[in-house]
Amino acid sequence: MQINPDSFFRLIADNTRLRSMMLLTEHTELCVCELTHALCLSQPKISRHLAQLRDAGLVQDRREGLWIYYRLHPQLPDWVENILQQTWQANSNTAIYAEDRKNLADMPNRPGSACCA
């Protein structure tokens, strides 16, 4: 898989996409509803940003019933994985990322029960 550094950095320069990528770096897979809840943003906005990340090859999606789940693409180049991991490790306790993690942890009806019901 080839990812252009210029494209990668332009994509993650957007706050919504970066916050989504940070949550996906920490978690194996998240439903759009979980990202919507964690980031306190509308579903169309989250979906639009996730589509851009998917089209660039940074994330993969899968459908399960009505729900769409996202994960980091398993064939990301090592340099991309390293940047994401280092960014997460160095910044996971920064206010905005800590708040996103708390929002996600506090979400009722997370997948596994009745997702987004």
Whichever domain contains 31, its CATH number is: 1.10.10.10
pLDDT tens for the chain, residues 1 to 117: 789 999 999 999 999 999 999 999 999 999 999 999 999 999 999 999 999 999 999 999 999 988 899 999 999 999 999 999 999 999 999 999 999 999 999 999 887 644 454
Kindly state whether residue 70 falls inside one of the protein's structural domains.
Answer: yes
- Residue 111 in any domain: the answer is no
Residue 57, in any domain of the structure? yes
What's the pLDDT at 105?
A: 95
Q: What is the pLDDT of residue 117?
A: 42
- pTM (whole model) above 0.85: yes
- Tell me whether residue 15 is in a domain: yes
Domains held by the chain: number: 1
Question: Edge-to-edge strands of the sheet including 30-31?
Answer: 30-31, 67-72, 59-64
Query: Is 116 part of a structural domain of the chain?
Result: no
- Residue 39 is assigned to a structural domain of this protein: yes
* Residue 51: inside a domain: yes
The pLDDT of residue 45 is 97
Which range of residues forms the domain containing residue 42? 5-105
Which is it for the CA torsion 75, 78, 83, 87, positive or negative?
Answer: positive
Q: Is residue 114 part of a domain?
A: no
Q: What angle do CA 13, 17, 18 make, to 5 degrees?
A: 60
Q: What is the pLDDT of residue 112?
A: 60
